[in-house]
Amino acid sequence: MHKETDFVVIGSGIAGLRAAIGLSQSKGQVVVLTKDRVSESNTEYAQGGVAVVLSDDDQVDLHLTDTLEAGAGLCDESAVRVLVEEGPKYITELINWGTSFDTQEGKLLFTKEAAHSRHRILHAHGDSTGREIVRGLLAHARTIPQITITPHAITLDLILEANQVVGVKYLDIESNELCYLYARSIVLATGGAGQIYAHTTNPEVATGDGMGMAYRAGARMCDMEFMQFHPTALNVVGAPNFLLSEAMRGEGGYLINSDGKRFMDKYDKREELAPRDIVSRAIVSEIRHTHSNQVYLDVTHLKSTYLRERFPKIFLTCLKYNYDITKDFIPVSPAAHYIMGGIRTDSFGRTSLAGLYAAGEVASTGVHGANRLASNSLLEGLVFGARAAEAALEDNLDKIKIKPEETVGLTSDSYQLDKNIRLQISEIMWRYVGIIRSANRLKTAISQLAELAEQPLNLVSRNYVEVAQMIARAAHYREESRGGHYREDYPARNDEEWRCHTIDQLRKDLSKELLN
């Protein structure tokens, strides 16, 4: 089926919904495609909160400095300044639209997380911030008649004409119908790729689809080697890698080893509040040193009533697996959490392809550098989702519909991610392209992934394979350690050679790009 609209947004997390709301200002029709239920996205699983300068003792320049420091010398400062300066405006807008953040005596309640110099993290319902933001954005979007939200729509590929993205191919799961949707502009807000790894905090939908589609269309990809591993995911047999929020350490939680002793002071003076990459590697090192399988998060010294009120979702989830956070040490281990790289964009979400914009985790704006500062991701999705919409409206591209005979060859089985491929790749990535890397392990991964890529694959499986290959290639290319990318054969940071972005583009060799 061939359809037309004015704008298409792929993804219904914070970036996608904010982009859709922005695009609706043109009075044109906006179609939001999402491959699961409308609220299923990484945003919904964001517990810790959103970082923003709204408290009396905070300053924009402090937020800027904290972000740059966490990014390990690889942030684009101009993009970070956009984030921290415009963030308060968009959070205030959310509040005005009905999003309810936690308060105390009528004032917004802020907490502190790792690598932040101030208490600037807003949260909602204790540890359900992302869910509340999605609720608020969805409620507002549904009041706008120009926005149509289509759930259970599996986007398969971008439609190209003369190096311009003019539409998308997607499968409507409910009708099992293949659709070709043409528009003036496409905004990719498909989220991350944590499911590329065997152990991840990400939901099932985070398989890197948008990155794979954009790469295959010829878009420039940036810094794909930088995967952030969250230090504290629940590590219990039979339980999912449920995220134990950074805020638990921000509120005073300790990491202890199998001997019941704190250990972070051996690895960093900031101890439990060091950046995530440092804490994750410290946990791996401590597990090796103590010849054990895990470490523990200890919050038992904090008041039990406070813990139940501050972290209600975490409390109930851990209790489900027979751990009471008010009494028990919680077994934790790192898990793939957030990819700092993605589709290279400017500060308004424009990609290297006309008609294609990207925002949120799927994009690489340069905000996060080599290591994302905790709770900056929700703010990034909000700010740059709005800016991508602004750019699409300003560019005002013509709608181009190509002949139907040029868009053939897809069948209804093109949406299924091959389970065997998924299992093999996630294990390869965890084993060889994980928290600690080396040339030999990366070469093994690249070779094994290449063999899998030679198999006949549908488009969804092809996206999955290609994203894994991009991460492995970039990790092998960058011969240094920085932020979320650690090479034990190149353990030092090398600013002289590698203070630059890495660029991967279809049919081109990997290259370096100087910082903005």
Mean pLDDT of the chain: 92
- Exposure of 420 by Cβ count < 10 A (0-12 exposed, 13-18 middle, 19+ buried)? exposed
What DSSP assignment string belongs to 388-435? HHHHHHHH-PPP----GGGS----GGGGPPPHHHHHHHHHHHHHHSSS
Helix-, strand-, coil-residue percentages of the chain, each rounded to 5? 40, 20, 40
Q: How far apart are CA 328 and CA 318, in angstroms?
A: 10
Q: How far apart are CA 360 and CA 362, in angstroms?
A: 6
The class that CATH gives domain 232-333 is alpha beta
What DSSP assignment string belongs to 357-378? EE-GGGEE-SSSTTSPPTT-HH
- Give the H/E segment covering residue 121: strand 121-122
Give the pLDDT confidence of 199-245 residue by residue, as tens digits. 999 988 899 999 999 999 999 999 999 999 999 999 998 888 888 98
Sheet of 121-122: strand order equals 50-51, 121-122, 110-111
Q: How far apart are CA 180 and CA 177, in angstroms?
A: 10
Beta bridge partners of 167: 159, 182
- Give the H/E segment covering residue 307: helix 304-310
Mean pLDDT, 10 residues at a time, the chain of 516 residues: 94 96 95 78 59 96 96 97 98 96 92 87 84 92 96 92 93 88 97 95 91 97 96 90 86 94 95 89 92 92 94 93 97 95 98 98 97 93 98 94 57 76 97 97 98 94 96 98 97 98 97 92
Residues 6+ apart with CB under 8 A from 206: 42, 191, 192, 193, 194, 195, 200
Residues 6+ apart with CB under 8 A from 123: 47, 48, 49, 50, 101, 102, 109, 111, 129, 247
Give the number of other Cβ atoms within 10 Å of residue 176's Cβ. Answer: 9
437 is catalytic: no
Give the pLDDT confidence of 356-412 residue by residue, as tens digits. 999 999 999 999 999 999 899 999 999 999 999 999 999 999 988 776 544 445 555
Instruction: Kindly name the residue from 184, 249, 276, 372 that is annotated as catalytic.
Output: 276
Paired tokens of 47: 């517990």
To the nearest 10°, report the CA torsion of 515, 393, 46, 288.
-30
